[in-house]
Structure 1
Amino acid sequence: MQLPMRTPLFSSFFMMALCLLFFRASVVSGECLGDQQSSLLQLKKSLVFTTSLSTKLVHWIEDVDCCLWDGVTCNDGRVTGLDLSDESISNELDGSSSLFRLGYLQKLNLAGNDFNYSQIPYQFEKLKNLSYLNLSNAGFAGQIPIEISRLTGLVTLDLSNTNSFVPLVIESPNLATLVQNLSELMELYLDGVHVSAQGSEWVLALSSSLPKLRVLSMSRCHLSGPLDSSLLTLRFLSIIRLDGNDFSGPVPEFFADFQKLTSLSFKACGLTGKFPEKIFQLPTLRKLDLSSNVLLEGFLPEFPPNGSLENLWLTQTGFSGTLPHSIGNLKMLSTLDLSDCNSMDQSQAQWQTLHNWFMWTWQATISLDQFHHSAWPRI
């Protein structure tokens, strides 16, 4: 007699559980909260951009949930990610912008726009939850504000400025002050930023404050040497890119002690002296660019079995000697540029050795065209 009563009761519990499941799902994905959508719409209204070039802002429509808009990421209805890179924005970013009311932002990308050579607003400090900030080639200029140093949760910071005639500057506050609180930082990109530092001050600033740093990219930053050994305290460094600075000295052997180094680039740095052979033999190193250092000397060493090098540029250097037969141990080698390396042995036998390596190794996708050598013999 009780059986007919249990079926509807079971159905009721089932429907309640189902509703609860849908409710929880909607909370996790989240409809955009009203204040968040309002701030984004105000931001769009304040920005000048070319509609024919925009792929995100042009599609922000009031009647559509902002969490569904291109470039917007939400969590529980709150905007946690905003990607407006390459949106052809062409006006200044005002300090009163509604952007700075998006206090839940964790990732912000404004790269590739033109903020009209304006200064980076100090109001960025309001976005205290940021872990990723990319303002690269966004048309900012002048002194980078001290307020950036208060974004203590930053893991990635990209302020690269390689496409502008008006530089970004780190002078006052200096680099040491700017990074002193950024202990969580793993990736730092300052390419093209004019860093005011005497000698190795910049090395000491980084090594004393950024223990977790993995990527250091500071090309064309007006840096000088010497390259201080304190850099070695950044033991997690995997990528070091310092092209276009003026070190006017040798590469220290301590670079061979970076146990996680995969990429090292010193293109056009005024390097002199003999390059340490041990660096070539780093078991983790995949990319090495020493090109355009005409006073840098050295020899190609014997390469260990299963060497890791994939790309090697020695263009316009003073490297000399012969190509070791052990170059065949570099099974992953895809680029080897020895152009204008006039002290290297250019004999027929040497180039035959190299030719045979390319023709018979299983990594036969390497193109001889990559050598661009003016004296390439007919073989």
Structure 2
Amino acid sequence: MGLSSCFFSFIRLLLWLSLFHLTLLAHFTSSVKPLCHDDERSSLLQFKESLIINKFASIEPSAYPKVVSWKADKDCCSWDGVTCSEITGHLIELDLTSSYLYGSINSSSSLFHLVHLEWLSLSDNDFNGSKIPSAIKNLSRLSYLSLYNSSFSGQIPWEVLELSNLETLDLTFNFNLKLQKPGLRSLVEKLTYLKVLALGHVNISSPIPDILANLSSLTTLSLKGCQLQGKFPTKIFQLPNLRVLSMRFNAGLNGSLPEFENNTPLEELRLGSTGFSGEIPYSIGNLNSLQILDLSNCSFFGSIPPSLGNLTKIRLLYLNQNGFSGELPTAIGNLSSLEELELSALRHDDERSSVFAVQPKPSYR
């Protein structure tokens, strides 16, 4: 019995030592991050050398040249704007927003060797009228792509539509960029996981396809100043997760407001300077989360519904340059969060009268 007891005690000790060893090994492994891969460090340095630093290439006050700190003798995973996977060491995020980068870029750029990238922002730089390179398709893992205000031009290539994992695509303020062949319909058909689609001031020059209402994950749709035409599909207003809808500055786009359901998540609704018309439905008061409403310079008419007074979170309200009649509802006085109000009402004597006006601030959307 004594011998058997000693044997089992010995076995328990071995098991305890094994468990301790495994725990210690796991802790040590998790605390040591892998260094970046040599080929990725080389690709980053080549990309840096292909461009110059120009302080006029970025307009954001917070801009600074991130790549200046990149040194060949250091771990690239610690470089400014670079994020690597803690498991594989591969570069998965590159954020060079507002980095004073200036120069041209094409498909031979070493940037497109970084095939593990999942997140890429080159926003607020100046790529000197370059076309978006077809080699963008090499970055097939991208879920986030922002080229906002970076001076790209020409037709958006088919290869962008092959980035089937994209959830965010922001090409806003590339004034010489166009989406025509392929067009908006093709983009919507291919990029079915989109949550944010921002193409402000990209030349689209087409109607909005009905199938855009199938993108149920969409939270932001910003197509301002895109030369859109035809009737706006009403079903887009009912997208279940849509928080930002901006169609401003599309004079050829027409439509009307639908009846809004309770708990519709819209926070920003911007339709100013379009051909939208009709009456504002009383149910607009159901938009409990609305913070910005811009219906300025359209063709709305009738009375302003008192239900606007229910929008207690609203900060910016622009209803000017329409054909409204009647008096301003006293319920507007309930809008305690209101910062800016622009309103001109069509009185019964057909004289347009400015009730209150404050110049709006410039806005991304």
Normalised by the shorter chain, which TM-score bucket?
0.7 to 0.9
Corresponding position of 1:357: 334
Letter of the 1:318 partner, please give it: S
Aligned-partner Cα distance in 2 for 1:86–1:255: 33
Mapped contact 1:277–1:298 kept (Cα < 8 A): no
Alignment map for 1:227-376 (pairs within 5 Å): 227-247=208-228, 249-270=230-251, 275-279=256-260, 283-293=264-274, 296-303=276-283, 307-308=287-288, 309-341=290-322, 343-345=323-325, 347=327, 350=328, 353-354=330-331, 356-358=333-335, 364-367=336-339, 369-371=340-342, 373=344, 375-376=354-355
Mapped contact 1:107–1:131 kept (Cα < 8 A): yes
Task: For structure 1, list consecutive stretches of 5 or more residues without a partner in the other structure.
Answer: 3-8, 177-201, 359-363
CA shift for structure 1 position 72 = 0.9
CA shift for structure 1 position 24 = 0.8
Corresponding position of 2:11: none
* Cα distance change of structure 1 residues 154 and 207 upon mapping to structure 2, 3 Å threshold: closer
* Cα distance change of structure 1 residues 22 and 168 upon mapping to structure 2, 3 Å threshold: same
Letter of the 1:154 partner, please give it: L
Encode CA deviations 1:276-327: one digit per residue, 9 max, x unaligned.
442587733332222123x543222223775423321121222222232322
Aligned-partner Cα distance in 1 for 2:129–2:228: 29
Match of 2:68 among 44, 58, 67: 58
SS in 2 for 1:291: coil
Alignment map for 1:108-257 (pairs within 5 Å): 108-160=120-172, 162-164=173-175, 167-171=176-180, 174-175=181-182, 202-203=184-185, 205-224=186-205, 226-247=207-228, 249-257=230-238
Aligned-partner Cα distance in 2 for 1:85–1:269: 28
Mapped contact 1:95–1:123 kept (Cα < 8 A): yes
Mapped contact 1:103–1:126 kept (Cα < 8 A): yes
SS in 2 for 1:40: helix
Match of 1:36 among 37, 40, 44: 40
Corresponding position of 1:20: 25
CA shift for structure 1 position 71 = 0.7
Mapped contact 1:251–1:276 kept (Cα < 8 A): no
Confirm whether residue 71 of structure 1 aligns to residue 88 of structure 2.
no
CA shift for structure 1 position 245 = 4.0
CA shift for structure 1 position 153 = 3.4
Mapped contact 1:241–1:264 kept (Cα < 8 A): yes
Letter of the 1:370 partner, please give it: L
Mapped contact 1:277–1:299 kept (Cα < 8 A): no
* Cα distance change of structure 1 residues 34 and 17 upon mapping to structure 2, 3 Å threshold: same
Aligned-partner Cα distance in 2 for 1:268–1:139: 21
Mapped contact 2:270–2:295 kept (Cα < 8 A): yes
Mapped contact 1:271–1:296 kept (Cα < 8 A): no
Which has the higher mean CA deviation after the structures are superposed, 146-155 or 79-88? 146-155
Encode CA deviations 1:178-235: one digit per residue, 9 max, x unaligned.
xxxxxxxxxxxxxxxxxxxxxxxx44x3453343333333434444555443333333
Letter of the 2:283 partner, please give it: F
Q: Percent identity?
A: 33
Aligned-partner Cα distance in 2 for 1:89–1:123: 20
CA shift for structure 1 position 169 = 3.5
CA shift for structure 1 position 40 = 2.5
SS in 2 for 1:37: helix
* Cα distance change of structure 1 residues 324 and 108 upon mapping to structure 2, 3 Å threshold: closer
Letter of the 2:89 partner, please give it: G
TM-score for both structures, normalised by structure 1? 0.72
Task: For structure 2, list consecutive stretches of 5 or more residues without a partner in the other structure.
Answer: 1-5, 7-13, 57-62, 345-352, 357-365
